[in-house]
Every structure is written in C-alpha cells, then in structure tokens.
Amino acid sequence: MQETEILIAGGGIAGLSAAARLAADGHQIVIVDPAPKDTPDTATTDLRTTAFLKPGIDTLTYAGVWDDMQQSGAQLRVMRIVDAGGAERTPRETADFDGAETSDGYFGWNITNIAAKAALLRKIATLDNVRLMNGCKVTGYRAPTPAGPGPAIITLSNGQKFAASLVLAADGRNSTLRDLAGIRFNRWSYEQDALVFAVSHDTPHDNISTEIHRSGGPLTLVPMPDHNGKACSSVVWMVPHARAQTLAAMDDAALARELTTETINLFGPVDIVTPRAVWPMVAQIAHRLTAPRLALIAETAHVVPPIGAQGLNMSLHDIETLAKQIDLAKLENRDIGSDALLHRWERRQLPKTVGRVGGIDLLNRAAMAEPKFLRDLRYSGLCAINHIGPLRRLAIKAGIGK
Ligand SMILES: Cc1cc2nc3c(=O)[nH]c(=O)nc-3n(C[C@H](O)[C@H](O)[C@H](O)COP(=O)(O)OP(=O)(O)OC[C@H]3O[C@@H](n4cnc5c(N)ncnc54)[C@H](O)[C@@H]3O)c2cc1C
C-alpha cells in the first residue's frame, strides 16, 4: 500500500490543472491516467480550443502554468453576439461586450487544447510533489466506514493500491469513480453536434470572438494567432445531427463556401486549415459532488454545450474553490478530506453548478430555435441585454463567471 495526500483520477486538462494548482500549495499528489506516457492522448485527437476566461487564468497563473500556456494563444478583447435570425441573411442586432467594460480590460485567451495540455505536462514534469502515472486507471474506491480519520483506498488497473486523504474524480463524463461511489447523474442530448475546425480568413478578427445566431444553433469563431500570415479563427459550429453529417461529409472547398455564407460575410472568404472533429452535444449533471474523501470536479460533475466558453472554466472554478478550502484546512492542521470540509464545499458549489448548467441549457435551446416567433423573442432578449445598462453588466459578470 502506497500513501499520498491527494490522488487525482484523470490526467485531462482539468485533472492536470488541479494537480498543478494544488501542488503550488505544497500538497503531495498522484495523478492516474490510462493514456500512454509521452504521447498525450489529446495530441492527435482533441482538435478543440479553449477560451480561458479571466478567473480561470488566475487559477492557472497561481499554478505557474499560464505564462507558458499563453505563448500559443490569442487574446479575446471583445465578445460579439450577432443575431441574423431574421428573413434576410444580415445582422439585425450586434451586441459587443468589450473587455474594457471589465476591471481586467479583456475577457480571456483562446488556446488549442493540445497546447494547453502540453504546457500542463511540462509544468508537472518539473514538480517534485506530483507523480503522474500513465497507462493505468482507477478501478476501485473504498471509503473509510464510517467516514472518519481513515484514508480512502484506491485500486489501480495495474494492481497497485493507494491510501489517500482526498481523492479527486476528474476522470471525465463517463467517470468510473463516480459510479464506484454510487453517485447518479442526469444526461440529456440536444440532438445536435458541434463541428470543430480552424479557418484562415481575409478580414482580421481584431481579437473579437463572434457568436452568430440564425437557427439550429450558434456558430462561433474565436480568434487564434495568424496562420501562414493570415488571420485565423477556431470554429465551433453547432447544428442539428442531420446537418452536421452533411457538413462533415463535404470536402474542404465546399465546407469553406458554406461557412463563408453562414458567417454572413463578416470574415470574407474562409479557408479550412485543420482537420475537423464532430462532438455530440449533451449536458450532464451529477446529483452529488462528494462521497467520503471524494470530490467530483470538471466533466465528472458537469458537462455543458460550448456556449459562452463555460465548460472548462467551470472546472477551473471547481478546482479553485476546493483548493482554497483544502489550503485553509492544512494551515489549521485539519483533515483535508473530512466530511465537514467536503460538505461545506458541496453546499456552495452544487447550487452554482446547477444554476450554470440550467442557464446554458436555456441559452442553447434559445439558440437552436427554428420557429420565427422564437427567433424574434431571442432577438428581443439580445436587444434588451445590449441596450439596458444593468442587464448588460449582469450578462458580462455571468459570462466571465464572476
Ligand atoms: C466543441 C467544444 C468546445 C469547447 N470549448 C470550450 C471553451 O472554449 N471554453 C471552455 O471552458 N470549455 C470548452 N469546452 C469544454 C472543455 O473542452 C471540456 O470541459 C474539457 O476538455 C474536459 O476536460 P476534462 O479534463 O474534464 O475531461 P477529459 O478531457 O475527458 O479528461 C478525462 C481524463 O480521465 C481519464 N480517465 C478516464 N477513465 C479513467 C479512470 N478510470 N481512471 C483514471 N483516469 C481516467 C481519461 O483518459 C482522460 O484523460 C468545449 C467543449 C466542446 C465539446
């Protein structure tokens, strides 16, 4: 039996961020992930980018990762929402939320998941208090009974066992640990997919992230660094299943023409510059966030459609709030995995998580709306947010997760 203070199941971006953040406070950490060593599983398959918002950036800065991560990203200065859901293929309302309206002067940075994960792995490799175990997964969780001072016992697929004061489940949306702890969850599908790829275009993006609404789902272009001397953006194009299949089957030239039309020429003609990936759109929420000596974070706890760049940013919020409680407990010589600590964290975190998953669900349903009267209602909502000061400030605050 080996011992560790904290064991993290899952070495995705969330698990690695949790490790780097907690390591900065001096905790001893073991991370376990089935991906083989030195070939990060995202390097070839995860073509997504992440818009990291300011609070999440603060967490990664504290973790000592941000300076490296930021090198390969593009700043997001303005969040633009364009409603083009009228009869004409033209914008009927454009709402610009300028980072200058926030105390930070910008909203965030857009970084490829490959670059984000690579920066995290580089950081982890320098930390004496973090041990990354690749090529094996968590297969067993035994809680102390009754919940008390004993550790949780974690069994790995290679037969090794760990006694840990605290276990973080960051093993993704199909989490084994969540099942082993008997925590149930709800999942629902939007019968929609997100097509993900990058494009270069003639019109500069000016560090503006643009979300276009017509019908069927939002189409978002998020700034990236230039590609071969041309402006470049990552695309998240959310459409009903059947349309996603049609788009995914097109060759690059046809897809580029389709996108140029759908972006109502805001970017000029576009060229596809990466392979594409298709992500089914689901939402998911765990009924509880804790079990004895166990906390569920990131996609193990919540999955949302990529509207307003919330998914991983919510995960970084989970990590930050938990890290603060753990740190305080350690300073006061209290147990970092006690029921009292975990329940306190859950009481604050679960209502926020439910609120955010529900809010994003509503926004996505509004964005999917096909009937004209619903599109008009959505348009009126955007106009109200854009022109009524307090609503505008509320939207900005909610958007950056403050
Ligand atoms: C199209 C799209 C665009 C998005 N854009 C944004 C954005 O702009 N901003 C944003 O904040 N979010 C965004 N998101 C959400 C974000 O990409 C995800 O929240 C994030 O990538 C999930 O990371 P994770 O570490 O929680 O999960 P995962 O990446 O799924 O990691 C889970 C890890 O656990 C490991 N694992 C599995 N089983 C076990 C086990 N038994 N034991 C140990 N390890 C195990 C897996 O190998 C994996 O490495 C987007 C999502 C989509 C679909």
DSSP state of 174: T
Ligand 1 centre to CA of 347 (Å) is 24
| Residue range 42-51, pLDDT digits in tens | 555 677 899 9
The CATH number that applies at residue 130 is: 3.50.50.60
- Is the model's pLDDT at 76 over the cut of 70? yes
Structure tokens at 66: 């941000």
Considering only CA atoms, which of 22, 44, 42, 24 is closest in space to residue 33?
42
In a domain, 269, yes or no: yes
In a domain, 66, yes or no: no
The CATH number that applies at residue 211 is: 3.30.9.10
In a domain, 64, yes or no: no
Instruction: Give percent above pLDDT 90 in the chain.
Output: 66
Ligand 1 centre to CA of 240 (Å) is 22
Are residue 243 and residue 390 in the same domain, yes or no? yes
- Of 86 and 361, which is predicted with more confidence? 361
Are residue 106 and residue 136 in the same domain, yes or no? no
Are residue 253 and residue 166 in the same domain, yes or no? no
- Is the model's pLDDT at 174 over the cut of 70? yes
Are residue 167 and residue 260 in the same domain, yes or no? no
- Is the model's pLDDT at 371 over the cut of 60? yes
Residue in 133, 279, 299, 320 to alter for ligand 1 test, most ligand atoms within 8 A of Cβ: 299
- Is the model's pLDDT at 150 over the cut of 70? yes
CA-CA-CA-CA torsion for 23, 26, 31, 36, nearest 10 degrees? 60
User: Could you tell me the pTM of the whole model?
Assistant: 0.92
Residue in 7, 8, 13, 21 to alter for ligand 1 test, most ligand atoms within 8 A of Cβ: 13
- Structural domain tally of the chain? 2
Are residue 295 and residue 357 in the same domain, yes or no? yes
CA-CA-CA-CA torsion for 97, 189, 290, 11, nearest 10 degrees? -80
Closest C-alpha residue for ligand 1 atom 53: 279
Relative to the CA of 53, which ligand 1 atom is closest?
Answer: 11
| Residue range 100-132, pLDDT digits in tens | 777 777 889 999 999 999 999 999 999 999 999
Separation between Cα atoms, residue 395 and residue 123, nearest integer Å: 34
pLDDT of residue 198: 94
Relative to the CA of 176, which ligand 1 atom is closest?
Answer: 41
Ligand 1 centre to CA of 348 (Å) is 23
Are residue 344 and residue 247 in the same domain, yes or no? no
Closest C-alpha residue for ligand 1 atom 29: 12
Q: What is the mean pLDDT of residues 281-298?
A: 96
In a domain, 244, yes or no: yes
In a domain, 68, yes or no: no
Residue in 46, 47, 50, 190 to alter for ligand 1 test, most ligand atoms within 8 A of Cβ: 50
Ligand 1 centre to CA of 46 (Å) is 9
Are residue 212 and residue 316 in the same domain, yes or no? no
| Residue range 23-37, pLDDT digits in tens | 999 999 999 999 887
- Is the model's pLDDT at 171 over the cut of 90? yes
Separation between Cα atoms, residue 239 and residue 280, nearest integer Å: 10
Are residue 328 and residue 242 in the same domain, yes or no? no
Relative to the CA of 156, which ligand 1 atom is closest?
Answer: 42
In a domain, 129, yes or no: yes
Contacts (Cβ under 8 Å, ≥6 apart) of 177: 9, 138, 141, 167, 169, 171, 294, 296, 300
What does pLDDT average to over the chain?
A: 89
Closest C-alpha residue for ligand 1 atom 20: 312
Q: What is the mean pLDDT of residues 259-283?
A: 91
Are residue 121 and residue 248 in the same domain, yes or no? no
pLDDT of residue 4: 96
pLDDT category, 221, cuts 50, 70, 90? very high
Are residue 305 and residue 356 in the same domain, yes or no? yes
Are residue 32 and residue 122 in the same domain, yes or no? yes
**What stretch of H or E contains 29?**
strand 29-33
Q: What is the mean pLDDT of residues 230-255?
A: 94
Q: What is the residue range of 238's domain?
A: 74-110+190-281+369-400
Relative to the CA of 138, which ligand 1 atom is closest?
Answer: 42
pLDDT category, 237, cuts 50, 70, 90? very high
Are residue 99 and residue 155 in the same domain, yes or no? no
Separation between Cα atoms, residue 387 and residue 328, nearest integer Å: 43
In a domain, 67, yes or no: no
Residue in 48, 113, 160, 279 to alter for ligand 1 test, most ligand atoms within 8 A of Cβ: 48
How many other CB atoms sit within 10 Å of the CB of residue 107? 27
Which residues sit with their C-beta closer than 6 Å to ligand 1? 9-15, 32-35, 41, 48, 50-51, 137-138, 170-172, 176, 194, 196, 236, 279, 298-299, 306, 309-313, 315
